[in-house]
A and B are shown apart, each in its own frame.
Chain A
Amino acid sequence: MNELRGRLFSEGYRVSVRILAFCFLLFSVIGCGGRRGGASGPSAMDSTLVITSLGDADYLNPVIGATVTSSNIFGLIYPSLLQSSFDTSTGLLNYMALEKQLREVSGASKKPEAALARSWTFSPDHRTLTYRLRSDAFWDDGMPIVADDFRFSYMLYANPVIASPRQQYLAELAGAETGAVDFQRAITAPNDSTLVFRFHKPVPEYLALFHTSLTPLPAHFWKDVKPEEFRQSRLNQNPLGAGPYRLKSWKQQQELVLESSSRSNLPKPGNIPLISFRVVPDYTVRLAQLQTGAVDVVENIKPQDFEGLHRAAVPVEIKTVGLRVYDYIGWSNIDRDLYLKSGRISPHPLFGSAKVRRALTMAIDRQSILDGYLKEYGELSSSDISPSLKWAYNSTIVPYAFNARKASDMLREEGWVPGPDGILQKDGRKFSFSLYTNAGNERRNYASVIIQQNLRAIGILCRLEVQESNVFFENLQSRRLDAWMAGWSIGLEIDPMDVWGSDLEKCRFNFTGYRNPRLDRLCMLAKEKMDPLQARPYWMEYQELLHRDQPVTFLYWIRETQGFSGRIQGEELNISGVFYNIDDWTLRPSATLAP
Chain B
Amino acid sequence: MLTYIFKRLLIAVPLIFGVLTLTFFIIRLAPGDPAAFFIQPGVSPNVAMQIREQYGLNEALPVQYLKWLMNVLQGDFGRSFSRAQQPVIEVIAGALPITVTIAVLTLIANFVLGIIIGVVSAVRQNTFLDRFMTVGALFFYSMPEFWFALMMIILFALKIPIFPASGLNEIGAEGFGPFGFAMDRLWHLVLPVTVLSINGAAGIARYVRGSMLEVIRQDYIRTARAKGLPERVVIMRHALRNALLPVITLMGSSLPFIFSGALFIEVIFAFPGMGRVTVEAIFARDYPLIIANTFISGTLIVFGNLLADVLYAVVDPRIKL
By a beta-carbon cutoff of 8 Å, the part of chain A in contact with chain B is 1, 4-6, 8-9, 12, 16, 27-28, 30-32, 34-35, 37, 43-45, 48, 50, 58-59, 66, 160-161, 163-168, 171, 231-232, 236-237, 251-255, 276, 278-282, 284-285, 288-289, 291-292, 294, 313, 468-471, 473-475, 477, 488, 491, 495, 498-499, 508-509
Q: Given A58-B83, A284-B153, A291-B158, does the pair A35, B170 have CB atoms closer than 8 Å? A: yes
Q: Which residues of B contact A509 (CB under 8 A)?
A: 41
A279 with B272: CB separation less than 8 A: yes
Q: Hey, what's the 0/1 contact readout for B178-190 against A, CB within 8 Å counting as 1?
A: 0010011011001
Chain B residues close to A by CB (< 8 Å): 31-33, 36-39, 41-47, 50-51, 53-54, 79, 82-85, 94-95, 116, 120, 123-124, 150, 153-154, 157-158, 161-168, 170-173, 175-176, 180, 183-184, 186-187, 190, 225, 231-232, 267-270, 272, 276, 283, 285
> In whole Å, how far is B112's beta carbon from the nearest beta carbon of chain A?
10
Contact between chains at A279 and B270 (CB < 8 Å): yes
B interface, over-half SS:
helix
The 30 listed contacts between A and B (C-beta, < 8 Å) are: A1-B231, A4-B231, A5-B124, A8-B231, A8-B232, A9-B124, A31-B184, A45-B172, A58-B82, A161-B54, A165-B47, A167-B47, A231-B85, A237-B84, A251-B272, A252-B83, A252-B94, A278-B270, A280-B166, A282-B270, A285-B270, A288-B158, A288-B165, A292-B161, A468-B283, A474-B36, A495-B41, A498-B41, A499-B41, A508-B45
Residues of B near A163 (CB, < 8 A) are 38, 46-47, 50-51, 53-54
Distance of A474 Cα from B272 Cα, bound (Å): 28
Do residues A253 and B158 form an inter-chain contact, with CB atoms below 8 A? Answer: no
A231 and B32 in contact (CB under 8 A), knowing A45-B171, A45-B172?
A: no
Q: List the 4 shortest-distance A-B pairs measured between CB atoms, nearest first.
A: A44-B172, A253-B272, A470-B32, A163-B50
Closest to B268 in A: A282
Query: Which of B31, B44, B164, B232 interacts with A294 by CB under 8 Å?
Result: B164
- Once the chains bind, are A474 and B32 in contact (CB under 8 Å)? yes
CB contacts (< 8 Å) of A253 on chain B: these are 94-95, 272, 276
Given known A9-B124, A252-B94, A288-B158, contact A31–B38 (CB-CB < 8 A): no
Q: Which residues of A contact B79 (CB under 8 A)?
A: 232
In the complex, the answer to whether A278 meets B43 with C-beta atoms within 8 Å is: no
A289 near B84 with CB under 8 A, answer no
B residues less than 8 Å from A30 (CB atoms): 183-184, 186-187
Nearest-CB residue, chain A, relative to B272: A253
* Beta-carbon contact of A34 and B161 below 8 Å: no
Q: Complex Cα distance A63/B108, Å?
A: 47
In the complex the two chains form, what is the Cα distance from A462 to B116 in whole Å?
A: 55
Q: Find chain A residues with CB under 8 A from B162 CB.
A: 28, 31-32
> In the complex the two chains form, is B47's CB within 8 Å of A288's CB?
no
A44, A160, A165: the one within 8 Å of B175 (CB):
A44
Given contacts A5-B123, A34-B184, A282-B268, contact A66 B37 (CB under 8 A): yes
Contact partner of B172 (CB less than 8 A), chosen from A48, A282, A473, is: A48
What is the distance, in angstroms, from B88's C-beta to the closest C-beta of chain A? Answer: 13
**Which residue of chain B is the closest to A26 with respect to CB atoms?**
B183
A279: chain B residues at CB < 8 Å are: 270, 272
CA distance A251 to B120 in the complex (A): 44
Provide the residues of chain A in CB contact with B44, threshold 8 Å. Answer: 167-168, 171
Q: Is the CB of B171 within 8 A of A289?
A: no
- Tell me which residues across on chain B come within 8 A of A280, comparing CB atoms: 166-167, 270
Inter-chain CA distance A31–B79, complex, in Å, is 39
B128 to chain A, nearest CB (A): 12
Pick the residue among B41, B95, B285 that contacts A470 (CB under 8 A): B285
The answer for the CA separation of A292 and B161 in the assembled complex, in Å, is: 8
Cβ-defined partner of A34 (8 Å) among B45, B116, B150, B180? B180
CB nearest neighbor in A for B267:
A281
- Is A474 touching B31 in the complex (CB atoms < 8 A)? yes
What residue in chain B is nearest A469 (Cβ atoms)? Answer: B283
Q: Which residues of A contact B83 (CB under 8 A)?
A: 58, 252
Residues of B near A16 (CB, < 8 A) are 116
Q: Establish whether residues B172 and A43, one from each chain, have CB atoms under 8 Å apart when the complex forms.
A: yes
Q: Which residues of B contact A288 (CB under 8 A)?
A: 153-154, 157-158, 165
Residue B190 contacts which of A12, A27, A166, A470 (CB distance < 8 angstroms)? Answer: A27
Report the minimum CB–CB distance from B232 to chain A (whole Å): 6
Closest to B150 in A: A284
- Please name 12 further chain A to chain B contacts, defined as beta carbons within 8 Å, in addition to the given A5-B123, A27-B187, A168-B43, sorted by A numbering: A34-B170, A43-B172, A161-B54, A165-B38, A168-B44, A253-B276, A276-B171, A278-B167, A282-B270, A288-B165, A292-B158, A474-B33
A166 to B95 alpha-carbon distance, docked (Å): 31
Determine the residue in chain B with the shortest Cβ distance to A280.
B270
Chain A positions within 8 Å of B175 at CB level: 37, 44
Q: A5-B123, A279-B272 are in contact. Are A254 and B167 (CB under 8 A)?
A: yes
Q: Which of B39, B120, B170, B176 contacts A477 (CB 8 A)?
A: B39
Say which residue of A9, A37, A45, A285 sits within 8 Å of B165 (CB atoms).
Answer: A285
Query: Cα distance A455–B278 when bound, in Å?
Result: 40
CA separation between A105 and B158, bound complex, in Å? 45
Does the CB pair B167–A470 fall under 8 Å?
no
Task: Tell me which residues across on chain B come within 8 A of A499, comparing CB atoms.
Answer: 41
Contact A285 B184 (CB under 8 A): no
Chain B residues with CB under 8 Å of A294's CB are: 164-165
Q: Which one of B44, B150, B267 has the greatest number of beta carbons of chain A within 10 Å?
A: B44
Q: List, in ascending order, chain A residues with CB within 8 A of B33's CB.
A: 470, 474
Question: Contact: B84 with A236, CB < 8 Å?
Answer: yes
Closest residue of chain A to B162, judged by CB?
A28
**Identity of the chain B residue whose Cβ is nearest the Cβ of A292 in the assembled complex:** B161
Closest beta carbon of chain B to A206's beta carbon, Å: 16
